[in-house]
Amino acid sequence: MKLLAVCGQGLGSSLILGLNLKEVVKKLGVKGVEVNHSDLGGVTHGMADYIICGKDIAMAMEKYSNVICLDSILSKKELTEKITVIMKEHNLL
């Protein structure tokens, strides 16, 4: 499974989100998950199974069907909750 952390501009916040995402996946004990990060302009269809972003760019991400929007990209609790749901849906937990 491929997960992509996305921010609006630059790569700073997507890098932090990506690092948090890697940490969450590791703590959940899920194997075979690839985590990358990108700015909004670098996202293309098929790049990832799920795209994770903040609500600030949610409208720009509407064209993708596999988007997980976070109220706070810094909240590991929210990230863990939403990633856990996905992993359970795919029988990875």
Domain ranges, ordered by start, for the chain: 2-89
Whose structure tokens read 């990358």?
36
Contact (Cβ atoms closer than 8 angstroms) between residue 35 and residue 22: yes
Q: In the numeric block, which tokens belong to residue 68?
A: 């997980």
pLDDT digits (tens, 9 = 90+) for 41-93: 999 999 999 999 999 998 999 899 899 999 999 999 999 999 999 999 999 99
Contact (Cβ atoms closer than 8 angstroms) between residue 49 and residue 66: yes
For CA atoms 36, 82, 22, 92, give the dihedral sign.
Answer: negative
Q: In the CATH scheme, what is the homologous superfamily, with its name and number, of domain 2-89?
A: Response regulator (3.40.50.2300)
Contact (Cβ atoms closer than 8 angstroms) between residue 61 and residue 53: yes
| CA gap 1, 14 in Å, rounded | 18
Q: Which of 37, 32, 31, 29 is nearest to 9 (CA)?
A: 37
Q: Is the pLDDT of residue 10 over 80?
A: no
Per-residue pLDDT at 21: 97
Reported pTM: 0.93
